[in-house]
Structure 1
Amino acid sequence: LAMVAAVKGYRAIFVMAEDMSEERKQILVAYGAELVLTPANEGTVGAIEEARRLEASEGYFFVGQHFNPANPAAHEQTADEIFEDFGEQLHAVICTTGTGGTISGLSTFLRGRIPGLRIVATEPADAPILSTGIGGKHKIMGTAPSFIPETLDQSAYDEIIAVTAEAAYDSARQLAQKEGMFCGISCGAAVAGMLTYARCEAARGKELLAILPDTGERYLSTDLWT
């Protein structure tokens, strides 16, 4: 979004909790965006409240990734690309849930094209908001805010797999060191969830797809790499 704003000449203000990784902040500033940081203990909810305040008081347009229906709708193209690569052979898609836009969009645009497709959501074991309704602090950055976003269709997924931070970190490191894929923490969570799902009898010999939504350079200063 910061890149698009730079190309279009828009003023862009990003509101985020102060405990987001330094690289996330630096990348946005590099594109010319402005940052507003909110208290870490308020999490995503605090950032959204501040963005709403800026919208009301300053007349800004609030993109609202947790509320904007354009978010899941954008994944019609993602679904097209997946179907082009896998066709009807794909058995399951495993996806982390942040805003829920990806998993909701893929469910909408893939289920009618792939008979029997399974959609699997992962969530942090420390903050199982999807399965229990109880959120909280966790280390899988970019996933599982402490509320259910409007962009998440809870009927989109068939099952939920809880992933520990340790498993997510280990999978992210393995992706880099063994597969040459420099991915972020949420990608590690998706792969860890896929490996768990792959052990079930229904997945034996089937084609599985884990969605990797983030890049590793955003986390160089975190304990993922340090």
Structure 2
Amino acid sequence: MIGPLLNSAAILIGSVAGAFVGSKIRENVKQNMPLVFGISSIGLGVAMTSKVVSLAPVVLALIVGSLFGEIVQLEAWIHRLSLKTKTILARLTPAEGELSQEEFMGRFVALLILFAMSATGIYGAMNEGMTGDTTLLVVKSILDLFTAMIFAASMGYIIAVLFIPQLLIQSAFFAASVLIIPLTTPDMLADFSACGGCIMLAVGLRICGIKQFPVGNMLPALWIVMPISWAWTALFV
């Protein structure tokens, strides 16, 4: 399980380093580099979306999954948990720069999705579990290292706690890959990647401050896209 551990170490090290030297990093770097990471997320989302086999089940999964997320207010739960974490860490660490509460939470939730719940990380963990290939998670770790470093420079040590859900989620899919992968087809995995790519596009737009998509509420789409893809193929293809 090298990939998930490497990814968690990259987030932890990058966050601690960024928060520690935050005051020494120029303001233009703090302000402009998140835009680079945002456009990188958009580019990754486009690349993942281009793998789509059947667009209809991907769109259906996004609609149904997002509707469920809106009904249960999944992002609101994430916000409340994030605020509690921030409150606890605020007693132990310096203040998180001059970001407004709204901007802080918007970035924090986007980073939570990017680090812990992206299709890249989930598929990378599953792929390593079945094949032993860590390439995808190594690439993600490099991106996450610098992303965590720059965001922690303005948001503080709280970014470091994101390695916990990242490690838990990737480890779970790594362990379950032996059971999950045999039940999937290449088309299902491609549609899963495309669905994750759409969410990554939304994350990138949110990080860039272009549009505050409710990415937390979109996450259930990842849970249902492969069954919907299988059913669509069985019924209509």
Taking structure 2 as the reference length, the TM-score comes to: 0.28
Bigger fraction of residues in helix: 2
